[in-house]
Chains A and B, each alone.
Chain A
Amino acid sequence: MPIHDPGYRTWQGPVAPLATRWMVIAEVGIRRAWLSSWLRRMMFFAWLPACVMGFMVLLYEQTSANDPSAGRTMLGLSRMLIDPRSAASSSFTDVRTALERRDQSPESERHLFWSALLTTLFRRSQPFILIPMLGIIVPPLISQDFRSRAFLLYFSRPITRLHYILGKAACVMFFLASVTLAPALLLFAAAVLLSPSLSVLASTWDLSLRIVAASLTIMIPCTCLSLMLSSLASESRYASFAWFAIWIFGELAWTTASRSAAVGSNVVISCLSLFRVFSDVTAWILDPRLVMDDIQTRLVLLAALSAVSLAVLFRRVSAPMQI
């Protein structure tokens, strides 16, 4: 019992605007997810590639073009990050080209080098973190609310379905941004600060916008898809299974189909794997020189995926109220 029990007291005080209520849901979601030690470990590993790339930028900007040991180190690190035989091998070629020609045309080669690093970050390292990360944090977000009937607690308050979905989406986007947008932007900022002069911004400013665009291209469809899966099951492990199945079976389908057809010429086969679609689209956004056939098809696929997921999500969230 309390030392001094004043009983019930009326309350009058400032009330936050309705439009900000989703932030409360997002904040609670982030705090709950952060309790997972797996998530914290993943976050640590998610930042390692950006740190390695930051070191490469340091070498690139602070060493002489004629320094052979610096060039060797950077190529070695590039080889570690990018498999030269993989579909992303163009980034490796770009890094090598940029290193070879950096004393001839430093401005254009700098842009090439930075964009190659960013493309590598988005295509090679971050997807392997964000897929398992979302597989851990997103499935319980809505499915647990269904199971514990927490939607009654939410929707008996002055919030709408939009606030609820916005809050959950903001929670997912926060973690997605922490492994895509934040490391990429910080890498860009570090590169600018490590370069000889801030005037490099004049030739590289577009990269910051490209980073934001590439991040949003990943964040929006991933958020919508993962939340929709979470809303489809009251057991979060089913949603988790479906999430991983989409990526794994998509990739397997792509691998199988690509053996019997020329992948580059068949956009339908490329669209079998969501992983390939994201990889192609982010590469197209980050590398201004890259010309990709049928990029519109991939963009439409991602837009349709987001729209359908959102529509299902809204329907599922309102379903418990209709009983």
Chain B
Amino acid sequence: MSPLIELVGITKDYGAFRALSDVHLQILPGCTGLLGPNGAGKSTLIKVLLGLVHCTAGHGHVLGIPLGTHATAIRSQVGYMPEDDCYIHGLSGIETMQLAARLTGMQSTEAIRRSHEILDFCGAGQERYRSVETYSTGMRQKLRFAMAIVHDPALLILDEPTSGLDPEERVAMLNRIRILTRDFGKTVLLCTHILPDVQSVCSRVVILAAGQVRISDSLEQLSRLPSPALFVHFAGSAERFHAALRQYNLASHISGPQQMQIAGTAEDHSNLIWQAAAVSDCTIRGLVPSRNSLEQIFLDAVGQVQHAHS
């Protein structure tokens, strides 16, 4: 798979402040999560991708179009959903959509038709005829998402698409992203602080910290532990179970209430674990290969940077 976004040595300075530092990045087709703490450079990276700011050093391309000189060509193929609450004063939802469509070059009547079609897809009802100022947070999110996809872009950059949404709307929004990625081959760059959202829809993740790419890999690869381990969910006395495992020479530690992490693979040790459970009078409710959580991966990546700075 050839990358849709490729950045080589991108550096961006705002005066004396370095927002991005020697960023090398490849975004492959599919859904990629862009994570990072506040001030990590995510917004600057998005602005560089959209050609809204020029990078101080480095080069790259988005959808095969070189950065810098062809910003409008890039933006005509990219849909961007900003995080900030932004709207055009005095316009209704459908008028705002129509404006967004026409700014990407659609003819007037086609823009109206397409706007209705996309608002239907986004689950917007009759409120589309109301002024945007009267919209709830959730409705504004939907509208911004609808504006991002109205011109059927190949690449979607979504900045916090689920923030401020109720659980039902959040699931619906993630479903829409999933549909666009899976059924229509869109490439999505999902920038969010909500890690379960990334785990839910993304196949790859990029973690940015202090203006540098700390991690860029598939979630599958990242969630693997350096040494294999098993995660056991059990019912019974943790101390007795732990002691029984020690008798069978199995290294283990209690990772939570009724939870135990045991070194090794299921093929080698599952029989011994069952025996230890029987001896200690515990019931095993779950036995799965242990994986790194995205939260842990994120904290490790950000922690390394903080440690280096201190």
Contacts and interface: CB of A to CB of B under 8 A. Distances in A.
Contact of B87 (A15, A153, A157, A321): A153
Nearest to B46: A156
Interface string A33-47: 001000000000000
Nearest to A9: B117
A145 B96 CA distance: 13
Nearest to B99: A28
Contacts, number: 115
Interface residues of A, number: 41
A16 B107 contact: yes
B91 interface: yes
Contacts of A255: none
A105 B105 CA distance: 57
A196 interface: no
Given A24-B102, A158-B75, A8 B89 contact: no
Interface string B100-111: 101111110010
A86 interface: no
A148 B183 CA distance: 34
Nearest to A3: B120
A150 B87 contact: yes
B179 to A, nearest CB: 6
Nearest to A17: B105
Interface in A125-144: 140, 144
Interface in A7-36: 7-18, 21, 24-25, 28, 32, 35
B188 to A, nearest CB: 13
Contacts of A12: 152
Nearest to B121: A8
Contacts of B289: none
B278 interface: no
Contacts of A17: 105
B47 interface: yes
A160 interface: yes
Contact of B90 (A2, A14, A35): A35
Interface of A is mostly: loop
Given A8-B180, A13-B107, A15-B106, A148 B47 contact: no
Given A9-B117, A156-B82, A158-B105, A148 B89 contact: yes
A265 to B, nearest CB: 49
A21 B121 contact: no
B103 A158 contact: yes
A39 B250 CA distance: 83
A263 B104 CA distance: 54
A152 interface: yes
B88 A5 contact: no
B103 A157 contact: yes
B125 A1 contact: yes
Given A24-B103, A158-B103, A321-B47, A148 B75 contact: no
A72 interface: no
Contacts of A322: 14, 53
Interface of B: 14, 47, 50, 52-53, 71-73, 75-76, 78, 80, 82, 84-91, 95-96, 99-100, 102-107, 110, 114, 117-118, 120-121, 123, 125, 147, 149, 151-152, 176, 179-180, 183-184
Closest 7 CB pairs of A and B: A15-B105, A149-B86, A11-B152, A156-B80, A158-B76, A157-B103, A158-B72
8 contacts: A11-B152, A15-B105, A28-B88, A149-B84, A151-B86, A152-B82, A156-B75, A158-B76
Interface of A: 1-2, 5-18, 21, 24-25, 28, 32, 35, 140, 144-145, 147-160, 321-322
